[in-house]
Amino acid sequence: MRIDILTILPELLKGPFSASILKRAQDKGLVEICIHNIRDYATNKHKNVDDYQYGGGAGMVMSIEPIVNLIEELKSQREYDEVIFMTPDGGLLEQNTCNELSLKKNIIILCGHYKGIDERIRENFITKEISIGSYVLSGGEIAAAVLADAVIRLLPGVLNNETSALTDSFQDNLLSPPVYTRPPEYRGWKVPEVLLSGNFPEIEKWREQEALKRTKARRPDLLDD
Ligand code: ADE
């Protein structure tokens, strides 16, 4: 899979992809992450990437030209399955969308800034608009990193069997059950007996019950589906 991220702040995106699972996924050749600076595609003298909004009003708007130049250059090199815009007014990111995106070959993720992007980019180039939550971030970069992380960890070979994404919360509309590690007792706080029993059918049953209990208490909406 190849993910192209379009941003005016490339330095914000270096960190999340340069350690741990996301770095290993790239080192193993399972995903290629290409970060592009939109400013490099501005043709005006001062390399401006934003402008005042028509009709007046506070806040700058990201200009159409540099973004279109960049998207069209990428599209001339390969076909893209999706051109995604990270925005608080997009559809809320859920595990289903991550699962779907993990099956794609090439995707573009555009990070917004300021008051937004010229609407004509949305109308003519964007295929999906995604929000990572009902709050406003100062830009789309952190949201893009969240989306990329949630997708990349689903790619075959990225996680090993023990950390398999199939046992993640949300994959079966249930939150994960509690987990424990050594010691079996700490300050009098004990690990549930069943987990120490070696009785795997019983352990499995306990985990299912706890997952259901936790989901009912914290996210009953997941059980409505
Ligand atoms: N950009 C700013 N806030 C955002 C959000 N909540 N989700 C996605 N992109 C954003």
Query: What is the per-residue pLDDT for 109?
Result: 98
Residue 67 lies in a domain: yes
Comparison of pLDDT for 168 and 215, the residue scoring more: 215
Q: How far is the CA of 109 from the centre of ligand 1 (A)?
A: 12
Closest residue CA from atom 9 of ligand 1? 87
Q: Is the beta carbon of 84 within 6 A of some atom in ligand 1?
A: no
Q: How far is the CA of 140 from the centre of ligand 1 (A)?
A: 5
Q: Is the beta carbon of 135 within 6 A of some atom in ligand 1?
A: yes
Average pLDDT over residues 28-35: 98
Nearest-angstrom CA–CA distance, 153 and 123: 30
Residue 142 lies in a domain: yes
Nearest-angstrom CA–CA distance, 53 and 64: 12
Pairing status of strand 189-190 against strand 185-186: antiparallel
**Please, is 83 exposed, middle or buried when counting C-beta atoms within 10 Å of its C-beta (0-12, 13-18, 19+)?**
buried
Number of structural domains the chain divides into: 2
Last residue of a domain, one of 152, 185, 207: 152
Q: Is the beta carbon of 86 within 6 A of some atom in ligand 1?
A: yes
- Is residue 62 within 8 A of residue 111, CB to CB? The reply is no
Q: What is the pTM of this model?
A: 0.94
Q: What crossing angle do the helices spanning 141-152 and 20-27 adopt, rounded to 10°?
A: 60
Residues 148 and 173 in one domain: no
Residues 131 and 193 in one domain: no
Q: Is the beta carbon of 140 within 6 A of some atom in ligand 1?
A: yes
pLDDT digits (tens, 9 = 90+) for 188-213: 999 999 999 999 999 999 999 999 99
Q: Enter the DSSP assignment of 176.
A: P
Q: CATH number for the domain including 100?
A: 3.40.1280.10
Residue 159 lies in a domain: no
Query: What is the per-residue pLDDT for 114?
Result: 84
Percent pLDDT > 70 in the chain is 98
Q: Which helix (H) or strand (E) holds 215?
A: helix 200-218
Per-residue pLDDT at 181 exceeds 70:
yes
pLDDT digits (tens, 9 = 90+) for 119-167: 999 999 999 999 999 999 999 999 999 999 999 999 999 998 656 777 7
Residues 17 and 75 in one domain: yes
Residues 103 and 190 in one domain: no
Residue 27 lies in a domain: yes
Query: What is the per-residue pLDDT for 162?
Result: 59
Name the residue among 16, 62, 117, 43 with its Cα closest to residue 3. Answer: 16
Average pLDDT taken over every residue of the chain: 95
Residue 164 lies in a domain: no
Residues 47 and 116 in one domain: yes
Question: Dihedral (C-alpha) 199, 200, 204, 210: value to the nearest 10 degrees?
Answer: 40
Q: Is the beta carbon of 88 within 6 A of some atom in ligand 1?
A: yes
Pairing status of strand 60-62 against strand 50-52: antiparallel
